Chain A
Amino acid sequence: QKEVEQDPGPLSVPEGAIVSLNCTYSNSAFQYFMWYRQYSRKGPELLMYTYSSGNKEDGRFTAQVDKSSKYISLFIRDSQPSDSATYLCAMSRSGGTSYGKLTFGQGTILTVHP
């Protein structure tokens, strides 16, 4: 079983839809949770960063972390064709021998069609 599970999709939605992306994880030591957006042949771009449980909103993006369920989500409101990309969840621990190591999900391919 992978430490972080993410449905690879692909996910196809019409423009203006609300998109929900999710990851589950098994290691309760994860404390930092991130969402990255990666366009084809480019480096990952940090979208959202949260520490421990809770919600965070930034424009059209909302990140949620539920540590009790080991479940994180990213919501995209009013989706645009420019949101078409691969979305990667990532998480890391504080301290220990894996200090500094990000554990990624497999990535979800999203297409927003006009």
Chain B
Amino acid sequence: DTEVTQTPKHLVMGMTNKKSLKCEQHMGHRAMYWYKQKAKKPPELMFVYSYEKLSINESVPSRFSPECPNSSLLNLHLHALQPEDSALYLCASSPLASGAQYFGPGTRLTVL
């Protein structure tokens, strides 16, 4: 199984809502990542988890809160988002925190 899955596929939320994005991989990878991608731009790294510990936070606003409950799961909790946060949110994993990363299909988020 070489797949990273993400739920939901689409999410529409208001600026006062709280929601969560979920990511799962069963490849035994020990590093997992959250990226944000705007239209016609490359993915931008948000967070890196290595062995279930947060190792990189790219100065992401606190309205985004990551969580790694175990080695297969990664969540991104969203609260009080702004319309400019609307984007494709991508999860990725890799065997270790180096080398190739495998991306999920993404969650398309719209903030009204």
Which positions in A face B, CB cutoff 8 Å?
32, 34, 36, 41-46, 49, 51, 88, 90, 92-95, 98-102, 104-107
Measured CA separation A93–B48 after assembly (Å) = 14
Interface on chain B toward A: helix, strand, loop, or mixed SS? strand
Given contacts A100-B48, A100-B55, A101-B56, contact A44 B97 (CB under 8 A): no
Interface size on B, residues (CB 8 A): 27
**Minimum CB–CB distance for B42 against chain A, Å:** 4
Q: How far is the CA of A58 from the CA of B11 in the complex (A)?
A: 36
A7–B108 Cα distance when bound, in Å, is: 26
Chain B residues proximal to chain A, CB less than 8 Å: 4, 6, 31, 33, 40-43, 45, 48, 50, 55-56, 88, 90, 94, 97-106, 108
Asked if residues B97 and A100 are in contact (CB atoms below 8 Å), the reply is yes
Judge whether B105 and A42 touch: CB under 8 Å: yes
Contacts of A101 in B (CB 8 A): 45, 48, 56
Q: How far is the CA of A51 from the CA of B97 in the complex (A)?
A: 14
Asked if B45 and A32 make an inter-chain contact with CB atoms under 8 angstroms apart, the answer reads no
Contacting residues, chain A, for B4 (C-beta < 8 A): 43
